[in-house]
Chain A
Amino acid sequence: MESASALDAPVGATVPTVVSERLARKFSRNLKERAIEALLFLAAFVSVFTTAGIVYILVKESLVFFSHVPLWQFLTDTQWTPLFADAHYGISVLLSGTITSSAVALLVAIPLGTTIAIYLSEFASPRAREIAKPVLELLSGVPTIVYGYFALLFVTPLLQKLIPSLPGFNLLSAGIVMGIMIVPYVASISEDAMRAVPMALREGSFAMGATRLQTALKVVVPAAVSGIAAAYILGVSRAVGETMILAVAAGMQPNLTFNPLEPAATITAYIVQVALGDLPHGSVGYQTIFAAGLALLLLTLFFNLVGFWMRRRYREAY
């Protein structure tokens, strides 16, 4: 306080009443600012605290699990049968389902989302954009359970016409629908990144005789690459964490496979299954969901780190 008022006082100001008045006003303002600061800190603290709490619970419960099942077995076993008498806990089984379905989803979402973003940002008339944006937002507002049944009851039968051997539950159909679900995210974030590219850059390209498509692909996309990469990473995170579509349409049997034509459980689908089931709390079988949850958390963390690294790399390059 004192040092602040000393700084504030003009050099040579010697009238004490003026100084104290300034001090008083400053004090009340400071008080208000402090209160706001404290409030903001509290808000930040709550979210950090929640995150820390989640990690704490996951790690604590996982430790219980790993006291029964050695870590190396968790990582290397190729079977996932926690409910059988001969129990196996190989996370790679669930991981394969997660990776395969996410890969299918991204194969759909990235090309489609990027194309839509380029169209909306560089080609669409303001009127077309006005119509398309809310439609996309609507699409991202559809509950995932609806997508799940859409996959199971509409997409799978459709795919079965093409691939007669396709089982009723499969990763392909769930992955495709999951991709459709992610498209709005990828498109919207990519579009924001492209629209943020300064007009001056586009004009520079047009002034060189470039077409709209050339300008979009050779100038706008490279300039927006960090934002587009962020959109993809967010898409990956959503795919990895998606639960309902997979629980409904991909079947829930653990299956170590990278073949999208097979049914398989993902980490998330398994967690739902156990959480809703009637395994006694505290049993090793129940404890598995924490270990699986931790694996999921680490997986998302990994993708976020990759996203972070990519963004930094590209920011350096451009």
Chain B
Amino acid sequence: MLGSARPGAAGLTPDASPPPPLKAESRDLSFHYGNGFKALNAITMPVHEHRVTALIGPSGCGKSTFLRCFNRMHDLYPGNRYEGAIVLHPDNTNLLADDVDPIEVRMRVSMVFQKPNPFPKSIYENVAYGLRVRGVTNKNHLDDKVEESLRGAALWDEVKQRLNEVGSNLSGGQQQRLCIARALATDPEILLFDEPTSALDPIATASIEELISELKKRVTILIVTHNMQQAARVSDYTAYMYLGELIEFDRTDTIFFKPGRKETEDYITGRFG
């Protein structure tokens, strides 16, 4: 089953090549929810530039929690607390530092959610949203960016005739690509995906996966997925998490074929989780 998924198909060169430079790394990252629950425990993990890193693990192990640290989403709810650091390269700043503005972080680290969540606005305005929020009003610039982003999300040809229609009129897969276009419009450095295809049919899923492989030329990608084949198909690196801990991190082909830890192997082969 996994054999046919061809891990490493996402474009990794053989083992000998040096790993690409780091885009970010989490250092001893722990996270506490407002109710006191410690959802992440001392996670240290690299994020390689222009690569796709998949986060896998059983439900409730903290994948979403970890992902949402990267754009400080947890700041929206009172009482949440980070410990440790997420260092963004090349400027070597800690995203989680108190003096870092979460809004600035979100301008550099964009996010696509599990369920497509287009705004109650036109397709055009959905994509232009991030720019408008940044005060861009130049119509030509907006037009260019909207087209570029929709092309980047492989949606342009389907919607170029109806940019003024509301985004929620699109199909689920198109809505998700609209959300990807929206995230791309502001030229983020890192793109976070939290189970972006779990609400989609297989064909829409395939097109999103293809898109993710394409997008890594432009951005660094972190993706949470429950689908082993998806992790194998789209990612270059895979992190296996369990109960808030990072159990193993390695190149995807290593994780899938020669995992270093028994727990990882059990999970991958379906003996657990």
Please give the residue numbers on chain A whose beta carbons come within 8 Å of chain B beta carbons, in ascending order: 125, 198, 200-211, 214, 218-219, 222-223, 225, 317-318
Give me 16 A-to-B residue pairs in the complex whose CB atoms sit less than 8 angstroms apart, sorted by A's number.
Answer: A198-B117, A200-B115, A200-B117, A201-B120, A203-B113, A204-B113, A204-B179, A206-B73, A206-B76, A207-B106, A207-B110, A209-B106, A209-B133, A211-B133, A219-B120, A318-B166
Q: Contact: A208 with B106, CB < 8 Å?
A: yes
Distance in Å: Cβ of B235 to nearest Cβ of chain A = 21
Q: Contact: A201 with B103, CB < 8 Å?
A: no
Point out the residues of chain B lying under 8 angstroms from A205, CB to CB. 119, 129
Known A219-B119, A222-B119, A318-B168; judge A200-B129 contact (CB<8 A).
no
Check B183 for interface membership: any CB of A closer than 8 A. yes
Q: Contact: A317 with B186, CB < 8 Å?
A: no
B95-138 residues with Cβ-Cβ distance < 8 A to A are 103-104, 106-107, 110-111, 113, 115, 117-121, 129-130, 132-134
Q: Contact: A201 with B106, CB < 8 Å?
A: no
Check B182 for interface membership: any CB of A closer than 8 A. yes
Q: Contact: A200 with B113, CB < 8 Å?
A: yes
A211, B102: Cα distance in complex, Å = 10
Point out the residues of chain B lying under 8 angstroms from A223, CB to CB. 119-120
Point out the residues of chain B lying under 8 angstroms from A318, CB to CB. 120, 166, 168
Check B149 for interface membership: any CB of A closer than 8 A. no
Check B71 for interface membership: any CB of A closer than 8 A. yes
A219, B71: Cα distance in complex, Å = 20
Distance in Å: Cβ of A318 to nearest Cβ of chain B = 4
Instruction: Give the residue of A203, A218, A317 whose beta carbon is less than 8 angstroms from that of B166.
Output: A317
Known A201-B119, A203-B117, A317-B166; judge A209-B111 contact (CB<8 A).
no
Instruction: Give the residue of B78, B115, B130 whose beta carbon is less than 8 angstroms from that of A208.
Output: B130
A202, B103: Cα distance in complex, Å = 14
B183-216 residues with Cβ-Cβ distance < 8 A to A are 183, 186
Q: With contacts A207-B106, A210-B133, A211-B133 known, what are 15 further pairs, Cβ within 8 A?
A: A200-B113, A200-B117, A201-B119, A203-B76, A208-B183, A209-B107, A209-B134, A218-B129, A218-B132, A218-B133, A222-B119, A222-B121, A223-B119, A223-B120, A318-B168
A225, B132: Cα distance in complex, Å = 21
Q: Contact: B73 with A207, CB < 8 Å?
A: yes
A211, B101: Cα distance in complex, Å = 11
A202, B107: Cα distance in complex, Å = 16
Point out the residues of chain A lying under 8 angstroms from B134, CB to CB. 209
